Amino acid sequence: LQYDFLLKTIRSRKRFSKWHKKSASADIDVIKQYYGYSDAKAESVADLISADDIKAMKSQLSQGGKKR
């Protein structure tokens, strides 16, 4: 009887959510492309690189086209 009670009272629904993905930073992507680093190495080095250096990297890597 207890099993029947639980079966009838608990509604069926989706109980699990999707996995959360890491949000990619534009600065990390620039470092990866400029130096050819992996994700983990680029994240560890990001603290050592200044904002001015990242701007210089972006200008060297820019391939033209419209800015969004």
pLDDT, tens digit (0-9, with 9 covering 90-100), for 36-62: 999 999 999 999 999 999 999 999 998
What gap in Å lies between CA 1 and CA 9, rounded to an integer? 12
pTM: 0.62
Provide the pLDDT for residue 67. Answer: 66
Provide the pLDDT for residue 15. Answer: 76
Provide the pLDDT for residue 68. Answer: 61
pLDDT digits (tens, 9 = 90+) for 25-41: 889 999 999 999 999 99
Q: Is the Cβ–Cβ distance between 55 and 61 less than 8 Å? A: no
* DSSP structure class, residue 24: P
pLDDT digits (tens, 9 = 90+) for 9-20: 888 777 788 888
What gap in Å lies between CA 19 and CA 22, rounded to an integer? 10
What gap in Å lies between CA 16 and CA 8, rounded to an integer? 21
